[in-house]
Structures are given as C-alpha cells and as structure tokens.
Amino acid sequence: MEEAAALPAGERPGDRRLPGPATGGAGDEGRIEDVLAQPLVAAVEALGGYGGLVYLRSRDRRSLVLCVVAGMPRSLLRPWWRVPVGAALPMAEAYRSGKRLWLPDERATMLRFPQFTAALPYSFASAHQPVSVGGETVGVLVVLRSAAREPLGEAAVVRVLHDAGRSTEERLAGFVRRAPAPVAADTDTGTGASAAADTVAHRTEYDGQPVGVRLPSPPAHPLRLGMVEWDLDNDRWWADDEALALLGLAREDFDGTTAGVEANALYPVTAFTLAPGSVLALYTDGLVEQPGSDIGTGIEAVRRAFAHSGADSVEELADQLVGPARGVEDRPDDVALLLTAYRRAPGA
C-alpha cells in the first residue's frame, strides 16, 4: 500500500496509511489525522504499549468514530470503528465523564467492560484519556498494553495520559484556529459567537474511516546463531560449534554430509486432514513465550485469537496474531509465523 505523510485532497481518510508522527510543531499539520498521530504514538511509547487509538465524536454527537489507529491492523478493530456514546465501553465512559480511565489487566476490564474484553481475545491493559478543545470533550485517546509486561503504577499512567491530553489539545486548538474565519459578529443576533462554536465543532468531528499509523521500529540487535556452508555440488557441509549445537550434533558424530545431518535429527511426523477453507498456522516459540508467563498461556492466547479472528485475508490474520508479541520487551526468541490457507481445487 502506498505510504503518504498526509492525505491528498479528495481521498477518504481510510484510503492511506500515515507513516508515523509528524515532526513539526503543534498544529502544523493540514489534516486532523496528522494532528492526532504524534501525541498518540508518544503515549503508546511512553506506556510501553503495542497499539493506540483516537476516537472523535461524530457530527450527530451520537457516536465516537475511530479516527487514528497506531500499531494495529484496522480490521482487528472493525467492530469498534463506531461506538455509541452511551455504550458500556471504556472509551465511551471516558468521553461521557470527561475523566481518564486506567484498566491495568484483563480482570479489571472484564469486571467493568466484558464486551470490550471479548473484542480482543488476549490479555491486555488499556488507558483512556479524554481529549478536549476549549474545555469541551471532543474525543478519547486510548493506549493498549500487554498485561504480561511489568505492571505500571497508576501515578505513572496518569502522568503520561495528562501529557498526551495536553499535547493533543494544543495541537487540535492550532488546527481549529486555521479553520475558515467565522462570519463577523452581529451584536443583535450573536451569530458571530455561534459561527465560532460551529467552526470548532465541525473541525473536531469525524465520520470517515480510521487511518493507520506506523509505530517506530525497535532497534535491531545482531545475534550470531551459527554458520553453515553447504557445497550443493558435492554435498559437503562445514559447520561451526554453534550451528552443530542447533542441529543437535556432536562434532565427532558429524560426517559433513546431508545424510549425516538427517540421520541424527529427530523429526516426529503427525498426519491430519485439512478441510477446504482451513488455515494452518506454523509458528516458532517466540510467538507464545513471554517472560514470567507459562508458555501454555501464550499458546492458549494465540489459539483464542486464531479461533475468533474476523480477518478477511491471511495477511490480516498474521497481523492480528503477531501484533501482541510486538509489545513485549525482553522476548526470549525471534517471532516467525507461517499461515497457509487450503481451498478446494476448481472442479473438485
């Protein structure tokens, strides 16, 4: 998909992905999606989250509409692209009350908002910060965080949310100031004040599709696992000690041939039948291992996410399964995932 720093005129908000937060000062951006990107990404990074959302109120004031998504596929959140203001959901409550909300784990979320827990089939924490302009709440900023990470104190969360709310308000205020000037005030009818209020409302209301924002990529740390050289013409192998250890071979047992490698490797074979429409997921343990958590918990979380996915393609499904793993620090292993979809052959 083509990347763009801002949306060209005439395109729907959901048609492009923003590459990341803008680098200019508050209110420098030309589109409201650009305005919201920087404080959202900053909040996600400050809380160690794996994703973030910004909702703005709709023009009829009856709904909160998802405007910007950071670090997550938009399809995963499709049920929550438009949320009724009166819904029993945390972002709606934060909007109605004008008070920030911190749900530190799945249990806290389940007790208060079970419907929200069911939407994302893995354990997570979430922080919700009302977004205001001129003292009026116009939306909510949300940060999603893995509940398996080191717990955060409420005071630290409040500081981050306060900064995110202030930054968003400043940027939105600058955005509103660049709106077309309202009509001149009429001292008899007060139409000038009314026009000013209408300008603020129009510029901070949203009825489009959500726009995706990339989170900054973490630095890559080189890791030497082992080195193998394979002469395909003569079927000769040369391997260092690290590579032999990965292959489960002692140097004295390695004769330098493919047959020697295969003879000493144990590959259990499991036979099963896949019906048309099935999707097979093959993954490394890095996808399911988390520090301080049993591997069975990680396997179950992936199984639940796989079973309840509403993805329209294997690409979207891969994003849904790998997304939570991106937010876990000190992950003990690399993450690899292979998805294969089986379809009935034509005429079968």
Whole-number pLDDT of residue 99: 94
* 25 and 64 within one domain: yes
* 69 and 197 within one domain: yes
Task: Check if the beta carbon of residue 239 is closer than 8 Å to that of residue 255.
Answer: no
Q: How many domains does the chain have?
A: 3
* 239 and 208 within one domain: no
Burial class (CB in 10 A: 0-12, 13-18, 19+), 167: middle
Q: What is the mean pLDDT of the chain?
A: 76
- CB burial readout 276-308, b (16+ within 10 A) else e: eeeeebebeebbbbbeebeeeebeebbeebbee
Whole-number pLDDT of residue 302: 80
Taking phi over 0 as left and psi of -120 to 50 as alpha, with beta for the rest, 314 belongs to alpha
CATH number of domain containing 198: 3.30.450.40
* 62 and 197 within one domain: yes
Whole-number pLDDT of residue 14: 36
Print the domain residue range for 116: 13-213
Task: Name the nearest CA neighbour of 167 among 281, 22, 319, 273.
Answer: 22
Q: Give the residue carrying structure tokens 């000690």.
A: 241
Whole-number pLDDT of residue 10: 37
* 117 and 27 within one domain: yes
* 233 and 205 within one domain: no
- Whether residue 347 is contained in a domain is answered as no
The pTM is what? 0.56
Whole-number pLDDT of residue 332: 60
- Whether residue 3 is contained in a domain is answered as no
d(CA 41, CA 214) in angstroms, rounded, equals: 8
* 179 and 35 within one domain: yes
Cβ neighbors of 185 (< 8 A, separation 6 or more) are 191, 192, 193
Whole-number pLDDT of residue 280: 85
Cβ neighbors of 180 (< 8 A, separation 6 or more) are 199
Q: Give mean pLDDT in consecutive 10-residue pieces for the chain, a chain of 348 residues.
A: 33 39 47 92 92 94 94 81 93 95 86 73 82 92 82 90 94 81 48 50 81 77 69 81 78 81 66 79 81 70 75 82 69 78 67
Pick from 264, 291, 325: which residue ends a domain? Answer: 264
Whole-number pLDDT of residue 346: 63
Whole-number pLDDT of residue 334: 78
- Whether residue 286 is contained in a domain is answered as yes
* 206 and 58 within one domain: yes
Whole-number pLDDT of residue 255: 83
Whole-number pLDDT of residue 291: 65
* 259 and 283 within one domain: no
- Whether residue 269 is contained in a domain is answered as no
Whole-number pLDDT of residue 233: 79
Whole-number pLDDT of residue 160: 95
Whole-number pLDDT of residue 5: 32
